[in-house]
Amino acid sequence: MSPRLKGLKVLLCVSSGIAIYKALDLASRLRKAGSELTIILSPEAREMVSDYVFSAVGNCPVYHDINQVRDGWILHTELSRWADVVVLAPATANTMAKAASGIADNLLLATILAAPDKPRLAVPTMNTRMYENPATLRNMKCLRDNGWHVIDPELGELACGEFGMGRYPDNSVIVGELVYTITKKALAGKKVLVTAGPTRERIDSVRFITNRSSGKMGYAVARAVRNAGANVTLVSGPTGLSFLYSIETIAVESAVEMRDRVSERLSESDILIMAAAVADYTPESASEEKLKKEEGPLELILKRTPDILLELKETEGKLLVGFCAEGKHLVQSCSEKMRRKRLDMIVANDISGTDSGFDSDYNEVWFLFKDGRKIHIPRSPKEDIAENLASEIANLQQR
């Protein structure tokens, strides 16, 4: 979870989609991430799930009545002033249509109308035919033009039994997009190519050599630079991680494939972040069929894989960021690597401990810069490190 969620004042506005039960889980996740919640239910939403449940799950006040008297407050203006961010989830076609045209005939709509200066996120969910109706599409466009971040629903089975666009996305996607909504767009207009994960080098049709990289660091970096407004392409080795919303992802297997995809995309990119743990060796030849098990040892001859960074051409004017994992003499050997690979910056991972680095949610790193500057980031969640890295990259771009 992003550190930006801690202490964030989230005004969760809930309208009456069938996916309302998922909004309870959203409230619970935000609470666990340290956000401060206030919830507004539309009158129809309140018919579906009581304020009692929302209040208990969100550990927060829940409002629905525009005429409710509370300490002399004018509820809708006070709540709109209080919020750091407004989240409308689920967003029904009806509520979006009213919000798009400035109708304020309940507390939820009046509060939204009073918050045009706040970051706002809408999560549309409904039946496909309602979603694809030109009226709904027009209203969503209108909300986007008015500064809302409206996320696309998912394709899948709907509560009405039909199949199509309209499903409520996973709450991890919504929380991620909430962070996007509140992040300063310091990398707006930049095209960033990120690599992540391990590579897999084939021995035969079923066996391969790989390493312990989970891809978590590279995926967190892709998300952080996208949250900062960059247009991101992710070249990913095999990982067990979910696809990232709004990030074009190119799946690759071997080091050679990764090199080819990176080379193809580099010319259109402003920044390359090589977070992948590229295998250093690959079998000299891979068998098309599964090798038969024999008595005695099996000899494998390995050759070096291409060094992607060293092979890159036309890097002039691009910002190149690498990663490197070492135990001993971390800063010294990673600085040497930065120079040899002509990088502007390298993220040096300390893999001497057992509780950070490969396959962990945490890392302890140094940011080393071409001009000799060094920044130590103590053991922290990979999301925090990725957000720090995105800010440092934005600073380098502004120099």
324 belongs to the binding site for ligand C5P (CB under 6 A): yes
Enzyme catalytic residues: 160
Say if CB 125 and CB 19 are below 8 A apart: yes
Q: Among the candidate windows 51-59, 79-87, 271-279, 287-295, which touches ligand C5P by CB under 6 A?
A: 271-279
Distance CA(208)–CA(306), nearest Å, equals 17
H or E element, residue 164: strand 163-167
308 belongs to the binding site for ligand C5P (CB under 6 A): yes
Binding residue for ligand C5P (CB under 6 A) from 278, 345, 365, 390? Answer: 278
Q: Among the candidate windows 105-113, 118-126, 134-142, 307-315, which touches ligand C5P by CB under 6 A?
A: 307-315
337 belongs to the binding site for ligand C5P (CB under 6 A): yes
By beta-carbon proximity to ligand C5P, the closer residue of 227 and 305 is: 305
Angle at 129 between CA 123 and CA 134, to 5 degrees: 80
Give residues 287-306 in contact with ligand C5P (rule: CB under 6 A).
305
Burial class (CB in 10 A: 0-12, 13-18, 19+), 281: middle
H or E element, residue 383: helix 382-398
Binding residue for ligand C5P (CB under 6 A) from 323, 349, 351, 388? Answer: 323
Say if CB 363 and CB 216 are below 8 A apart: no
Distance CA(348)–CA(212), nearest Å, equals 17
Q: Among the candidate windows 24-32, 58-66, 270-278, 384-392, which touches ligand C5P by CB under 6 A?
A: 270-278
309 belongs to the binding site for ligand C5P (CB under 6 A): yes
**Computed from CA positions of residues 313, 319, 325, 329, in that sequence, does the dihedral angle turn out positive or negative?**
positive
Query: How far is the CA of 151 from the CAs of 159, 168, 169, 371, in angstroms?
Result: 19, 10, 9, 40
Binding residue for ligand C5P (CB under 6 A) from 24, 109, 222, 276? Answer: 276
Amino acid at 330: L
Q: Among the candidate windows 106-114, 173-181, 288-296, 319-327, which touches ligand C5P by CB under 6 A?
A: 319-327
Site string for ligand C5P, 236-265 (x = CB under 6 A): -------------------x----------
By beta-carbon proximity to ligand C5P, the closer residue of 66 and 345 is: 345
Give contact residues for ligand C5P (rule: CB under 6 A).
Answer: 255, 274, 276, 278, 305, 307-309, 322-324, 337, 341
